[in-house]
Amino acid sequence: MKAAPISYRRASTLDEALAAGGETARFLAGGQSLVPMMNLRLTLADIMIDISNLRELRRCAREGDRIFIGAGVTHAMLEDGKIADPSRGYLPHVAGGIAFRSVRNRGTLGGSLAHADPAADWPAALLALGADAVIRGLGGERRLPLAQFQLGLMETALEPGEILLGVSVPVLSCHARWSYQKFCRKSGEFAHSIAAVVCDPARGLAEVVLGAAGDKPFRLERASALLLGDEPPAAPQMALAVDEDVREATGLAVSSYEFHLHRTMALRACARLREHA
């Protein structure tokens, strides 16, 4: 299959990219999702605006007790530790598990969030980390908690012409614990289930998130609340909470294979929470 005819423009500044954006334009970051979607004619646009060379989108900076990571940072840059890691190894671990090295070399964190594939890694992983999306449009900049960014299947809160600048993530304390469990039948493919857990009571953070289980990642409310308690929750108590959360989030029959897969992944992630030096 070939893409429909389209014009191409390489932006040399963020302002130039914003000025060129609009209803019928698409931003090109790593092209790992956009180009196949265009070749299959699942995405149509009149103009492709290449933002892959914008230095502004690779900016990373400390902002108090958070770190801003630019949307143009590639999975490989995170995997290789080229970005200061605020997450005690969590972000490099997630990055290193995405697809294959060739995809990780070009695919970007911002492209993954903007594409909003329900089975992708960053939407679930960054939701568990308590990230905010930083968005720029012609009218200025705005921030949204990631929970409000992905609205559904490949649908986000980005307005036409807006660019995702990056994410702001909390710097985890030295007592933070995390676990990231991803189930794939073949290595390198999109997940059939993802369970991401980040627990840092010093920062008031305890998030259990399930990905690849619906049209967007879900926060498991009861399980997250249990993790914030003073004592580690007993295994049966956590199992009950996860069962109720997964049933509520997915609507799956408890007898189904998918329900068992997701509950197993969530329980495994909670059980394997550990501190990372």
Of the residues 91, 164, 176, 199, which one makes contact with ligand FAD according to CB under 6 A: 164
Question: Of 182-221, which residues contact ligand FAD (CB under 6 A)?
Answer: 190
Structure-token match 């990780």, residue found: 104
* Interacting residue with ligand FAD among 18, 83, 120, 134 (CB under 6 A): 120
Contacts of 16 (CB under 8 A, 6+ apart): none
Measure the CA–CA gap between 192 and 252, rounded to whole angstroms.
Answer: 14
Q: Which is nearer to ligand FAD, 130 or 166 (CB)?
A: 166
Q: Is 163 near ligand FAD (CB under 6 A)?
A: yes
Q: What is the DSSP string of 153-216?
A: TTEESPPTT-EEEEEEEEPPPTT-EEEEEEE-SSTTSPPSEEEEEEEEGGGTEEEEEEESSSSS
114 binds ligand FAD (CB under 6 A): yes
| CB 198, CB 180: distance < 8 Å | no
Both tokens of 268, joined, read 């495994």
| Under rule CB under 6 A, residue 112 binds ligand FAD | yes
- Residue with Cβ nearer ligand FAD (121 or 200): 121
Quick one: which of 108, 179, 181, 224 contacts ligand FAD (CB under 6 A)? 108
The answer to whether 90 touches 198, Cβ cutoff 8 Å, is yes
- Is residue 76 near ligand FAD by the rule CB under 6 A? no
169, 129 contact by CB (below 8 A)? yes
User: With respect to ligand FAD, which residue has the nearer C-beta, 90 or 200?
Assistant: 90
Residue 22 interacts with ligand FAD (CB under 6 A)? Answer: no
| 71, 205, 220, 269: residue in contact with ligand FAD (rule CB under 6 A) | 71
Distance between CA atoms of residues 246 and 262, nearest Å: 7
- The residue among 194, 86, 61, 105 whose CA lies nearest residue 95 is 105
Nearest-approach distance from CB 50 to ligand FAD, in angstroms: 9
Out of 99, 147, 228, 240, the residue judged to bind ligand FAD by CB under 6 A: 99
Interacting residues with ligand FAD between 31 and 70 (CB under 6 A): 31-34
Question: CB under 6 A: which stretch of 6-14, 108-116, 197-205, 248-256 binds ligand FAD?
Answer: 108-116
Q: How far is the CB of 55 from ligand FAD (least distance, A)?
A: 13
For residue 171, how many other CB atoms are within 10 A of its CB? 18
Q: How far is the CB of 237 from ligand FAD (least distance, A)?
A: 32
Q: Measured from the CB atom, is 76 or 197 closer to ligand FAD?
A: 76
Residue 276 CB burial class (10 angstroms; 0-12, 13-18, ≥19): middle
Instruction: Specify whether the CB–CB gap between 68 and 168 falls below 8 A.
Output: yes
Residues in contact with ligand FAD, total (CB under 6 A)? 28
Residues engaged in binding ligand FAD (CB under 6 A): 26-34, 71, 98-99, 103, 106-108, 110-112, 114-115, 120-122, 158, 163-164, 190
